[in-house]
Amino acid sequence: MSFIRNISESPLSDKELVTLYKQDGDMQVLAQLYQRYMDLVYGVCLKYLKETETSRDAVMEIFEELVVKLKKHEVDNFKGWLHTVTKNYCLMQLRTPRNLKTKELNTDLMQSGEMLHLEDGIMEKEATFNRLQHCLGTLSPEQKQSVELFYLQNKCYNEIADITGYDWNKVRSFIQNGRRNLKLCMEQGSSE
C-alpha cells in the first residue's frame, strides 16, 4: 500500500515502539509501527471485504482503533495481535445490517400458513373416515362385525369366533372378504 508511505523507518523493534507509544502517546511512533504491517492489514481486509476501496478505508479505520486499543492491551507480539484486530474488524463490518444481504420473498410462490395445512390434513382424514364408515355399511353383517372386532377392537380369530359363534374358518373368510370389499369400496370412492 502506497497511500501512507511518507514516514521514515525506525530501527527500533515492534516491542520497543509499542512501549514508547504507550509511554508518550506519540502518533508518529504508532504510525511508524503500523506502517510496517499496512500491507498485511490491507491483505486481510481485502480477503474479507473483497473490495479495494472498502479495504483501504478499513486500513485507515483500524489505525484509528489502534490509537485507543494499543493503550489498553498488553501486546507482546504486535504483528499477531494486529492480525487478530484486523480480522475481527472485518468480521464486524460483514455482520453490520447494511452488509447483510436480504432478498424479498415472493409470497405468491409460498404456501399459506401452517394452520391451513393442519386444517387440510384434518379435512382429508375426516373425509377418509366418512368414506370408511360408508364402506363398512356396504359389507354384509357378518363381514362388518368380524372386521370391526378384528381391526377396531384388536380381537384375534379365536376371540371373534367365541363372541360371534361363527366357525373359526368362517371368521377368517369374513375378515379377508370384508377387507377386500372395504379396499375396493375405498378405492372406488377415491377415484370419484
Closest alpha carbon to 60 in 99, 22, 3: 3
Cβ-proximal residues to 164 (8 Å cutoff; 6+ apart), any chain: 142, 145, 146, 149, 171
Cβ proximity of 33 and 18 under 8 Å = yes
H/E segment holding residue 169: helix 168-191
The per-residue pLDDT for range 25-50, each reduced to its tens digit, is 888 988 998 899 999 999 999 999 88
User: Band of the pLDDT at 140, cuts 50, 70, 90?
Assistant: very high
Beta strands in 29-111 (DSSP E): none
Q: Looking up cell 506502517, which residue turns up? A: 35
Residue 127: its pLDDT value, please?
A: 81
Query: What does the block give as the cell for 150?
Result: 378384528
Q: Which domains can be identified in the chain, with CATH numbers?
A: 14-99 (1.10.1740.10), 133-191 (1.10.10.10)
